[in-house]
Amino acid sequence: MIFSEATCKMWTPRILGILRIVVGFLFLQHGTAKWFGMPHVAMFDGMNMMSLIGAAGVLELAGGLLVCLGIFTRVAAFILSGEMAVGYFMVHAPQGLLPILNQGELAVMYCFVFLYLAVAGSGSYSVGALLCRKNK
Ramachandran area for residue 98 (φ above 0: left; ψ -120 to 50: alpha; else beta): beta
Q: Is-contact 111 84, C-beta < 8 A?
A: yes
Amino acid type, 83: E
Residue environment code for 69-107, b if the CB has 16+ CB neighbours within 10 A, otherwise e: bbbbbeebbbbbbebbbebbeeebeeeeeebeebebeeb
**pLDDT reported for residue 1:** 61
Q: Note whether 129 and 74 are within 8 A (CB).
A: no
DSSP secondary structure, 82-135, as one string? HHHHHHIIIIIGGG-SSHHHHT-HHHHHHHHHHHHHHHH---SS-HHHHHHHHH
pTM of the model as a whole: 0.91
* Confidence at residue 65, expressed as pLDDT on a 0 to 100 scale: 98
CA distance 118 to 122: 8
Give the three-class secondary structure for 4.
Answer: coil
Q: Give, for all 136 residues of the chain, the pLDDT tens digit.
A: 677 888 888 999 999 999 999 999 999 999 999 999 999 988 888 888 899 999 999 999 999 999 999 999 999 999 999 999 999 999 999 999 899 999 999 999 999 999 999 999 999 999 987 877 666 5
pLDDT on residue 136: 59
